[in-house]
Structure 1
Amino acid sequence: MKADAQESQSLVLIVDDEPFMRLILRHFLEREGYQIAEAQNGIEAIKVFKQLHPHIVLLDAIMPDMDGFECCSQLQNFDCSKYTPILIVTGLEDQVSVDRAFAVGAMDYVTKPIHWAVLRQRVKRLIEQSQLQKKLEAANVELQRLATIDGLTQVANRRRFEEYFNQEWQRMKRDKRPLSLILCDVDFFKLYNDTYGHRVGDRCLQKIAKTLKYIIKRPGDLVARYGGEEFAVILPNTNAEGATHVAEKICHAARTLAIPHKNSQVSPHVTLSAGFTTEIPQPDSDIEEMISAADRALYQAKAAGRDRFVQNIQLPKSKNSS
């Protein structure tokens, strides 16, 4: 029975110091539909492995210079080996040799003289299992990503905001570096929804989110939907001057979008209000207080007429900062 179309694309690396054994393995596996690469010793096998990234390795256990066990152990050190099963081909079947094969990372073994029907099934099964593992891990990564993404705007959700802000708060505290937080809100968004409908309102939020992602480009920064029409921007290693520049760009970009808002009380277009705060986290400082400080600055921006940004100046806790 021939390998199916997907298997026929699989590359098998045959490693054996005996030319005749490589020849008969090649002929058998080519008839099964596999592509073949060869190496005549362990050192050459490592070189070919790094170049070609085969889907499976058939590795002779007993070879001069570097035997199959040592070669198998070294292959495990390469990132590309994660989804590449190694099948030891050996004339040894004592318990010590079998245990050693699995200890160095082999997924299975076949003995010489080779039972061809067994080899066919083991090669097929190991490749299938490896590809399935790869797909499952990719699916898990995607599920984790989706769990932290806001479905409407495709920026980070509130859960991811809280996780990341806490992470960066602790890191900036350890490194004694400034952390800035911007909270921004779409001005008169309830009026916008009432005027144009919720579907148009959703598209408005999507455009705002896309614009924020375009502005916030550093890998360590994060844009999140904080709730409703409110967004948050986390800026690690950013002082007040840097945060001022970003907040100004955010407000300007919203105006540049020129999304009509005929019932806005400040502009014929959609605008944003933003508040931010900057802090070098201290051992006795409070992460929730920093969020509250940015929220107070956002409130001040709205109270001052909207379509602007305000930096929070921390007040002593005994005073009324609202």
Structure 2
Amino acid sequence: MNTTFAENKSPALILIVDDEQFIRMQLRLALEREGYQIAEAENGRKALNVFQQLHPDLILLDAIMPDMDGFECCTQLQSLECGRSTPVLMITGLDDQESVDRAFEVGAVDFVTKPVHWPVLRQRVKFLIEQSHLQKQLELAHRELQRLVTIDQLTQVSNRRRFEEYLTQEWQRMAREQLPISMILSDIDYFKLYNDTYGHQVGDYCLQEVAQCINHSIKRPADVVARYGGEEFAVILPNTEIEGAIILAEIICSAVRELKIPHSSSPVSASVTISAGVATIIPKPNSNYQEVIILADKALYQAKLAGRDRIKSISIGKY
């Protein structure tokens, strides 16, 4: 039997958990004949460790074991990352209604009774693994869809929707913890002249290069780069004081200059440059995140008035 899928080249991995070595051996031999890979654990505690190391596609779990029984093991599996999405087939010598109900309550998706009826086990294992793979495909597709609706398609950084969602989230968190949040709002200098000179297709390439340059300049996972609109890009910096935000803005402006994208129409430079406004504020409870945007926009305006290709900053509060 072929247990592989086009998107999953290796055979499915099944974790067998049973305190009886003879039962584990029987299950291993029967399932290996079907083409599956097998891992074993002799009790619930070891099963939890093996699960976190190997992330099997299916768990065959004995209900009655010393130290930690299958019911408790299944309960703890549900609290682990990926535990909820991994199907558990409970194997039990108990076929009373209470035990069956309890198996499903703790998260098992099916059960078989001892002595094991091998044709039944074979079909249930096959069905559960196929369902598990299908569920994983759906989850991947959902995550990709979620990514697509929050990404600016041209520049591949976060879009305005993601910008607002993330800023709202971090603004509220900083307000609760009374920590500073900073923003860098940047604008490509004389971008209209750039488009007029080189055309919109080359202008799109310029936007892509600048966006990725900014994106590569940030180092912390919590910092988010977004296309704010047109040729404007914003960087959200949670728990960042003004000094740190200014340093990052300087790094970004320098990195854009180093791209050396020709801009023969620019009054300030022979290559593409950006102006940046930096703002830092400690949000007050029940305040609006627009406050930091207004400050950053004001600082950006000051940078443009001062001649562009530079940084201006505004902060409120003590750091």
- The TM tier, using the shorter chain, reads 0.7 to 0.9
Partner of 2:93: 91
Offset of 1:222 from its aligned partner? Answer: 1.7
Structure 2 matches for 1:137-152, cutoff 5 A? 137-152=139-154
Partner of 1:209: 211
* DSSP-derived class of the 2:61 partner: strand
Distance 1:284 1:15 in 2: 51
Deviates more, 1:40-49 or 1:161-170: 40-49
Partner of 1:5: 4
Partner of 1:249: 251
Distance 1:13 1:96 in 2: 25
Offset of 1:45 from its aligned partner? Answer: 4.0
* DSSP-derived class of the 2:264 partner: coil
Partner of 1:57: 59
Distance 2:21 2:36 in 1: 19
Q: Is the 8 A contact 1:55 1:83 kept in 2?
A: no
Offset of 1:56 from its aligned partner? Answer: 1.8
Structure 2 matches for 1:201-240, cutoff 5 A? 201-240=203-242
The one of 81, 106, 109 equivalent to 1:107 is 109
Offset of 1:18 from its aligned partner? Answer: 4.3
Distance 1:246 1:66 in 2: 52
CA offsets, 1:62-100, max 9 Å, x none?
445544334433444433533332212233322112112
Distance 2:88 2:56 in 1: 10
Offset of 1:287 from its aligned partner? Answer: 3.2
Partner of 2:177: 175
Partner of 1:301: 303
The 1:240/1:68 distance shift into structure 2, 3 A limit, reads closer
Structure possessing the higher radius of gyration over alpha carbons = 1
Gaps of at least 5 residues in structure 2 are none
The 1:22/1:234 distance shift into structure 2, 3 A limit, reads closer
CA offsets, 1:210-269, max 9 Å, x none?
111122222222211110111112222223322322232332222222111111122111
Distance 2:149 2:125 in 1: 36
Gaps of at least 5 residues in structure 1 are 315-322
Equivalent residue letter for 1:88: M
TM-score (norm 2): 0.87
Deviates more, 1:271-280 or 1:121-130: 271-280
* DSSP-derived class of the 2:182 partner: strand
Partner of 1:271: 273
CA offsets, 1:133-177, max 9 Å, x none?
222222222221221111111111111111222222222222222
Q: Once the two structures are aligned, what percentage of the paired residues are identical?
A: 65
* DSSP-derived class of the 2:216 partner: helix
Equivalent residue letter for 1:310: K
Number of aligned residue pairs: give it.
313
The 1:178/1:126 distance shift into structure 2, 3 A limit, reads same
Offset of 1:122 from its aligned partner? Answer: 0.4
Equivalent residue letter for 1:196: Y
Q: Is the 8 A contact 2:78 2:84 kept in 1?
A: yes
Distance 2:205 2:165 in 1: 27
Structure 2 matches for 1:145-164, cutoff 5 A? 145-164=147-166
Q: Is the 8 A contact 2:176 2:285 kept in 1?
A: no
Deviates more, 1:72-81 or 1:247-256: 72-81
TM-score (norm 1): 0.86
Offset of 1:116 from its aligned partner? Answer: 2.5
